[in-house]
Each structure stands twice: as structure tokens, then as C-alpha cells.
Amino acid sequence: MTFKDYFSGQAADYAQYRPHYPAELFTWLGQQCAARDRVWDCATGNGQAAIALAEHFTQVIATDGSAAQLRQAPPHARITYRVALAAASGIEGHSLDLVTVGQAIHWFSLAAFYAEVQRVLKPNGCLAIWGYGRPQIAVPALEALLQTYYGETLDDFWTPERRLVETGYATLDFPFAELTAPAYTLRVAWTLPELMGYLFTWSATQRFIATHGVNPLAALAAQMAPHWPGDRVPMTWPITLRFGRLSG
């Protein structure tokens, strides 16, 4: 099995600049589970979701294919971090109450991953997958510039998998008994350098730099600076959450 590693090179930036999920998301996930003994956070990255899950579950197994990403994850008494691929977790069969995947399932071989989920979940165990697209900025001039950067400057550098995120995983095969999930939103108030740090973590930005030998964010920052009001600007990302239960 192959692993598309687009993020190890920016692991430290990823840990610093990626927005944090709302706490209510993890409260709701815990409430849907018959027990809260063990959860697997697959493709945990720097452990952001794993840390939040540890508030609701006795044991969290957090895996990622990138050792560099895991080195950025903070230690926690309830979390076991290890390098593993999505289709080969090494977790005992029928031992988990919940499997979670945040902002990553579009990279997976779905059939192999779903087979692994079905193997490791307890009867009536749950799977939660979620993702988010580009941020929405409250200032119209900045929003327009970001849309141009995302849809025009980087258009040739997004992978086909990214389109699944843009459609909110609506077309993704999901062979579980699906429940209607609440709507959640990521919210931050960022400075211009913080936004640039986040955009630098985008895999399409990295491919642009590798192809052209120049960082396109320098030009974007110069365009945005005259429109930046004060120090911090509110931004939001709507989260798409799909949640299902294993029958039996």
C-alpha cells in the first residue's frame, strides 16, 4: 500500500497554523457511542483531534503515516501515538467504540480502509469523518483575493482528491448506517502573517513553489495588506461531518 505524504515537510507549520476543531464536535461524538473505552483517530497528523478525544474516551489510539507529523503531537496519558497506515492499523479486532478521520479520508484507499474499520469496530461501533474547505473571510475585499488565490493561482496544483473536500464528501461512498450530524464551524481571528502561515501548509501552495521556484504568498500578502483592518480578522470554515454506525 502506498502513502501520499504531502505534509511531512510542513509538519511544524501544520501544527502551528492549522485551526482547531470546536469542542462541541467531540462532545457530540462521545454522546453517540454506547461506550467510551477506546477510539482510533486515523491520520491524526499532529494529534489535534486525538487530544480533544482524550477528554471523552479512556484510551485514544492515534496513528499517522508520517513520523514527522507525529513528532509534533503533544504527549498525553490517554493517547498512544504510532506510525501506521489507514488500512493497516495493527489494532485488535472488534475492540473500538469509535473511529475518527479529520480532514484526511480523501487521501485513503476507501475499500481497504472501510474493511479495516469493520474489522476493528465493536458491534454497533461508529465511524466519523469530517473535513473543511477554504476559509471564509468576513472582509469582502480579502474574501475575493483569497478566492482568486484558491481557484485561479492554485487551480492547476490541487490534486483530484481535493475535489472530494470541496463537495463536502457528499459523493463519498459511506457503507454505514448514517445518522444526521449537526453542523459545526471552525472559527478563528487571525493576523495576516497567521493566514499566510496557514496557506503555506496547503499542499497546492507547496506544489506551486516546487514548480515555479517562487512563493506565491508574497504577492498575495502584498495585495491583502491594504485591506486588512486592524490586527485580527474573523474567519470561518464550515465543517462537513458524516457519521455512521456499524450494523450488528
Record: fold of 8-245: Rossmann fold (3.40.50)
State the residue for C-alpha cell 450530524. Answer: 181
Which grid coordinates belong to 132?
473543511
Q: What was the pLDDT predicted at 18? A: 72
**Dihedral pair phi/psi, residue 172, rounded to 5°:** -75, 130
Q: Which of 155, 152, 146, 157 is nearest to 220 (CA)?
A: 146
Domain ranges within the chain, ordered by starting residue: 8-245
Single pTM value for the model:
0.88
DSSP characters for 142-210? Answer: HHHHHHHIIIIITGGGS-TTHHHHHTTTTTS---SEEEPPPPEEEEEEE-HHHHHHHHHT-HHHHHHHH
In angstroms and rounded to an integer, the radius of gyration of the C-alpha atoms of the chain is 18
Q: What is the pLDDT of residue 12?
A: 58
Summarize the chain as % helix, strand, coil (round to 5): 40, 25, 35
Residues 6+ apart with CB under 8 A from 222: none
Q: Which amino acid is at 172?
A: L
The residues with which 234 forms a beta bridge, in sequence order, are 189
> What is the pLDDT at residue 13?
54
- Mind listing the pLDDT tens digit for each residue in 115-151? 999 999 999 999 999 999 889 999 999 999 999 999 9
pLDDT (tens digit per residue) in 195-238:
999 999 898 999 999 999 999 999 999 999 999 998 999 999 99
How many residues belong to the chain?
248
Flag whether pLDDT at 16 surpasses 80: no
